Amino acid sequence: MKFELVFIPYPGIGHLRSTVEMAKLLVDRETSLSISVIILPFMSEGEVGASDYIAALSASSSDRLRYEVISAEDQPTAEMTTMEIHIKNQVPKVRHAVEKLVEGYSTKPNSPRIFGFVLDMFCTSMVDLAKEFSVPSYLFYTSSAGILSLAYHVQMLYDENKYDVSESDYADSEAVLDIPSLTRPYPVKCLPHALASKMWLPMFVNQARKFREMKGILVNTVAELEPHVLKFLSSSDTPPVYPVGPLLHLENQVDDSKDEKRSEILRWLDEQPPSSVVFLCFGSMGGFNKEQVREIAIALERSGHRFLWSLRRASPNIFKEPPREFTNLEEVLPEGFFERTKEKGKVIGWAPQVAVLANPAIGGFVTHCGWNSTLESLWFGVPTAAWPLYAEQKFNAFLMVEELGLAVEIRKYWRGDHLAGVPTVTVTADEIEKAIMCLMEQDSDVRKRVKEMSEKCHVALMDGGSSRIGLQKFIEDVTKNIVSLDKEFVPVRS
């Protein structure tokens, strides 16, 4: 029997890329499966690399893996739309797209039937739409199993009226949460801002409730990376979890305007000694003000290490435009910085992150702790220094530094959130320099552990590896659910 899954990723480049990699793996492993990926309009018009990537996807559509791009027409302005409302606004368009898909299949012999939706962690409002088509929902969780377990725990405490985190003082709180999926207490001051915010907390609690309605949850992680968390989740009363990572977009697809920049960067790296360069890059939404830029520059110069620095200014409104490059770096950096560091350092804007991390010259990575960046660094065996900026990144930093010992810290606790507009405290040059020196230590325990985990990540994706086993278990469970659907549900409407 031919069957189809409808994937609905969140419209952010990091979520979309890992979802596409997930879809590719599934159709490669199961010949009777086809997948339609419905690409929703992006909230930010200037999301870095989005339009080129989506165009490349559309051109690569095939019979078994196709991409349906939803028009951005009639979309409310970013100032008037929250993430939750933005997704809900797309429901009628997604309904129409799936109806067209079902109608098309009804006219063709031997066509697949739709037997499930695979939803992004931020697209759980589509669960009710799946029910309209009489099919179950599965979740693709693009972050760690650890933050998934934290979401469950906070939701449970909230529903039992035991969650008393205050937005006004959580950043100074000395309290801890005893999260059973972690091996050590979790400081309240390390909570993502959304889990303390009066505006955002109810949305994330409701999201966790929706997670519990899923038939199963695919997680972009590795069993060997988060064994304690995954063991706990497998024994709890939540949907089954399938670790299938690391799902990485490793293809170096760049537009012509960036080819020259990429070549120049990689040529420079090729001239540097092995493991000698510290790479600083903070994701598609990471940028800094002038004061913070100067502190980073001072730290880099003092450290004496070679460096490749992807530098951009903070955006005044991240939902209207991404961070941009500074127009005049001479005005931002300390006087004479370029002259004094010209033999050892290179300051750039956009960075081909995957290609850079793959280069043997890279010895350390100062990162915002986005989960995709974290997995990429582990894949290439590059140790990281944690500098979280927004979303769940403070949790990722805790996980990598405290829980797993796979990163070094720049500072113990972090204030603010770039996306929420909560001011951040300037990190001093002394703190940054100390972290860089620790990060670049060649025989450190962290470096050794990262190399070991890198090998485990590669093995996980081989035949017989833990992630291949997780993927096969998901396919088997979906197949079992198809039998149940035939018995319990009316056929998908045509």
Average pLDDT over every residue of 209-217: 97
Task: Name which residue leads in pLDDT, 471 or 256.
Answer: 471
Give the per-residue pLDDT at 258: 74
Q: Quick one: average pLDDT of 52-71?
A: 92
Question: pLDDT of 265-297, one tens digit each?
Answer: 999 999 999 999 999 999 988 999 999 999 999
pLDDT given for residue 252 in this prediction: 59
What pLDDT, on the 0 to 100 scale, is given for residue 42? 86
Q: How confident is the model at residue 463 (pLDDT cuts 50, 70, 90)?
A: very high
pLDDT, tens digit, 9 for 90 and up, residues 389-408: 999 999 999 999 999 999 99
Confidence of residue 321 (pLDDT cuts 50, 70, 90): confident
| SS3 label, residue 126 | helix
In the numeric block, which tokens belong to residue 244? 């299938």
Tens of pLDDT along 115-163? Answer: 999 999 999 999 999 999 999 999 999 999 999 999 999 999 999 999 9
Per-residue pLDDT tens for 353-370?
A: 999 999 999 999 999 999
- The order of strands in the sheet holding 362-367 is 345-348, 306-310, 277-281, 362-367, 384-386, 407-409
Range name among 36-50, 67-81, 213-227 with the lowest pLDDT average: 67-81
| Phi, psi of 444, deg, nearest 5 | -75, 155
Residue percentage of the chain with pLDDT more than 90: 80
Q: What is the pLDDT of residue 284?
A: 85
b/e sequence 413-445, b meaning 16+ C-beta within 10 Å? ebebbbbbeeebeebebebbbbbbbbbbeeeee
Percentage with pLDDT > 70 across the chain:
94
pLDDT at 487: 60
Phi then psi dihedrals of residue 447, to 5 deg: -60, -40
Q: Residue 315 contacts by C-beta under 8 Å, 6 or more apart in sequence?
A: 285, 287, 321, 322, 323, 324
- Enumerate domains of the chain plus CATH numbers: 3-166+197-249+461-488 (3.40.50.2000), 258-454 (3.40.50.2000)
So what's the pLDDT on residue 190?
Answer: 96
For the chain, the residue count is: 494
> In the predicted model, what is the mean pLDDT of residues 477-483?
87
Tell me the torsion sign for CA atoms 323, 348, 13, 202.
Answer: negative
What is the value of pTM for the model shown?
A: 0.94
313 band by pLDDT with thresholds 50, 70 and 90: very high
Q: Is the pLDDT of residue 51 over 60?
A: yes
For residue 170, the model assigns a pLDDT of 94
Q: Give the per-residue pLDDT at 494.
A: 42
pLDDT at residue 323, rounded to an integer = 86
Mean pLDDT for the stretch of residues 244-251: 92
Least trusted range by pLDDT, from 25-29, 236-240, 249-253, 453-457: 249-253
Mean pLDDT of the chain: 92
